[in-house]
Amino acid sequence: MASTMLSIASATPSASLSMHEKLKGKVKLGSTTNSTAGFIKTKSFGRVSMVAAVNVSRFEGVTMAPPDPILGVSEAFKADTDEKKLNLGVGAYRTEELQPYVLDVVKKAENLMLERGENKEYLPIEGLAAFNKVTAELLFGADNSVLKEQRVATVQGLSGTGSLRLAAALIERYFPGAKVLISSPTWGNHKNIFNDARVPWSEYRYYDPKTVGLDFEGMIADIKAAPGGSFILLHGCAHNPTGIDPTPEQWEKIADVIQEKNHIPFFDVAYQGFASGSLDNDASSVRLFATRGMELLVAQSYSKNLGLYAERIGAMNVVCSSSDLAARVKSQLKRLARPMYSNPPVHGARIVANVVGNPALFDEWKAEMEMMAGRIKNVRQKLFDSLSAKDKSGKDWSFILRQIGMFSFTGLNKAQSDNMTNKWHVYMTKDGRISLAGLSLAKCEYLADAIIDSYHNVS
Q: Is residue 153, in this structure, part of any structural domain at all?
A: yes
CB neighbour class for 351 (10 Å; exposed up to 12, middle 13-18, buried from 19): buried
Contacts of residue 278, defined as CB under 8 A and 6 or more positions apart, other chains included, come to none
Q: Are residues 176 and 223 in the same domain?
A: yes
Q: Are strands 48-54 and 40-45 parallel, antiparallel or unpaired?
A: antiparallel
Q: Is residue 362, in this structure, part of any structural domain at all?
A: no
pLDDT at residue number 459 = 82
Q: Is residue 295, in this structure, part of any structural domain at all?
A: yes
Cα separations (Å) of 434 from 14, 59, 93, 409?
Answer: 72, 38, 13, 7
Q: Are residues 340 and 269 in the same domain?
A: yes
pLDDT at residue number 30 = 45
The DSSP result for 368-395, as a single string, is HHHHHHHHHHHHHHHHHHHHHHH-TT--
pLDDT at residue number 14 = 45
Distance CA 245, CA 239 (A): 6
Q: Is residue 64, in this structure, part of any structural domain at all?
A: no
The DSSP result for 23-35, as a single string, is HHS---TT-EEEE
Q: Are residues 168 and 262 in the same domain?
A: yes
Flag the least confident range among 23-37, 58-72, 99-113, 217-231: 23-37
Statement: residue 27 has pLDDT above 50: no
DSSP state of 408: E
Statement: residue 158 has pLDDT above 90: yes
Q: Are residues 307 and 333 in the same domain?
A: yes
Flag the least confident range among 66-80, 101-115, 199-213, 353-367: 66-80
DSSP state of 63: P
Its domain, for residue 45, covers 2-54
Average pLDDT of every residue of the chain: 90
Q: Is residue 240, in this structure, part of any structural domain at all?
A: yes
Q: Tell me which of 301, 330, 357 is where a domain ends.
A: 357
Q: Are residues 95 and 232 in the same domain?
A: no
Q: Are residues 159 and 293 in the same domain?
A: yes
Q: Are residues 295 and 346 in the same domain?
A: yes
Distance CA 254, CA 224 (A): 10
Statement: residue 314 has pLDDT above 80: yes
Q: Are residues 137 and 37 in the same domain?
A: no
Helix axes 188-196, 159-174, angle to 10 degrees: 40
Q: Which residue has the higher pLDDT, 453 or 9?
A: 453
Statement: residue 9 has pLDDT above 70: no
Residue 451: CATH number of its domain? 3.90.1150.10
Q: Are residues 383 and 270 in the same domain?
A: no
Statement: residue 204 has pLDDT above 90: yes
Which positions are annotated as active-site residues?
Answer: 187, 268, 304
Q: Tell me which of 323, 357, 391 is where a domain ends.
A: 357
> Number of folded domains in the chain?
3
Q: Are residues 343 and 239 in the same domain?
A: yes
